[in-house]
């Protein structure tokens, strides 16, 4: 008996389809965390949540309400830095000015020590008289000479004194005194220590034979300078 081959193929295909349809179901484990999740991970998530909540609370309750004040403080802080730099610069300038001031002051003191005003001359003469009395000297005479005009230096020789400017006057004083020689030396020391400069133009020291006690008679010519 002859069997058609195509018929057999159809039968086998049907059987294969039936067997393949009977698939075995495989259960997969639960992928969710469920109750078996790791407790450490849960605590980490809770901590991170608390941190985020704290940041949000700080931002909403502190930063934003005081944002303007914070900005104002930041501006003030920047101004303070600028002011510090300015103060440092000013202090540097002050140090320079202080040095210049000291130089000018020394120059002023030098000039005022040499040159006197009319009132200062009167005080100077009085100081000299007091020094003589303090050291036990007897002042026999005290007289002033005519002021000597000192003119500015000019290279042109043809120019007359009447056309030249007077820079200062030289003032001379004659003093006659007597007393102990040591006392007179103390007077000379006192004159050198005066704030105002006093120059010695002439000095004559003679032994006082009339006294007989070893005293001396002194003729002294002192000079100072006065501004016009």
pLDDT recorded at residue 176: 92
**Same domain (yes/no): 126, 204:** yes
pLDDT, average across residues 21-36: 45
Q: Higher pLDDT residue, 23 or 108?
A: 108
Taking residues 187-195, report their average pLDDT.
87
Residue 39's pLDDT band (boundaries 50, 70, 90)? confident
Domain that holds residue 188: 117-226
pLDDT in tens, 115-133: 667 777 788 888 888 888 8
Estimate to the nearest angstrom the gap between the alpha carbon of 26 and the chain centroid.
Answer: 90
205 and 107 within one domain = no
78 located within any domain? yes
**What's the mean pLDDT when you consider all of the chain?**
76
The pLDDT value given to residue 29: 46
pLDDT at residue 218, as a whole number: 92
pTM of full prediction above 0.75: no
Question: In this structure, are 163 and 211 located in the same domain?
Answer: yes
Q: Judge if 106 and 159 occupy the same domain.
A: no
For a pLDDT cut of 70, what percent of the chain falls above it?
69
Q: How many helices (H) and strands (E) does the chain have?
A: 5, 6
Q: Residue 32: which pLDDT band, with cuts at 50, 70 and 90? A: very low
Q: Are residues 139 and 205 in the same domain?
A: yes
Nearest C-alpha neighbor of 172 from the set 109, 226, 110, 227:
226
110 and 202 belong to one structural domain: no
Q: Look at 148-152, 161-165, 171-175 and tell me which has the smallest mean pLDDT.
A: 161-165
**Do 176 and 75 belong together in one domain?**
no
How many domains are contained in the chain?
2
Pick the closest to residue 225 from 150, 116, 85 (CA basis). Answer: 116
Both 126 and 190 in a single domain? yes
Task: State how far the alpha carbon of 83 is from the alpha carbons of 73, 74, 77, 89, 112, in Å.
Answer: 15, 14, 10, 10, 41
Q: State whether 219 and 132 are in the same domain.
A: yes
C-alpha to C-alpha distance for 61 and 171, rounded to whole angstroms? 87
For residues 181 and 222, state if they share a domain: yes
Give a yes or no: residue 156 inside a domain. Answer: yes
Model confidence at 155: pLDDT above 50? yes
Are 105 and 137 part of one and the same domain? no
Within this chain, do residues 109 and 124 fall inside the same structural domain, yes or no?
A: no
Domain-embedded: residue 143 = yes
Q: With bands split at pLDDT 50, 70 and 90, how would you rate the model's confidence at 165?
A: confident
């Amino acid at each position: 008996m002859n069997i058609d081959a195509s018929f057999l193929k159809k039968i086998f295909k049907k059987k294969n389809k039936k067997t393949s349809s009977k698939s075995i179901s495989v259960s997969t484990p639960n992928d969710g965390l469920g109750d078996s999740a790791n407790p450490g991970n849960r605590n980490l998530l809770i901590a991170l949540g608390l941190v985020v909540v704290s940041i949000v609370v700080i931002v909403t309750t502190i930063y934003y309400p005081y944002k303007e004040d914070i900005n104002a403080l930041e501006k003030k802080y920047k101004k303070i830095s600028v002011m510090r730099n300015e103060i440092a610069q000013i202090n540097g300038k002050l140090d320079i000015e202080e040095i210049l001031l000291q130089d000018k002051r020394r120059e002023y003191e030098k000039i005022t020590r040499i040159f006197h005003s009319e009132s200062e001359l009167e005080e100077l003469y009085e100081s000299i008289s007091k020094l003589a009395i303090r050291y036990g000297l007897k002042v026999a005479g005290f007289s002033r000479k005519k002021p000597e005009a000192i003119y500015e230096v000019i290279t042109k020789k043809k120019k007359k004194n009447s056309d030249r400017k007077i820079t200062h006057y030289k003032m001379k004083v004659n003093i006659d005194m007597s007393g102990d020689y040591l006392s007179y030396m103390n007077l000379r020391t006192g004159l050198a220590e005066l704030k105002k400069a006093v120059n010695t133009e002439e000095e004559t020291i003679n032994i006082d034979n009339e006294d007989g006690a070893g005293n001396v008679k002194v003729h002294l010519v002192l000079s100072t300078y006065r501004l016009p």
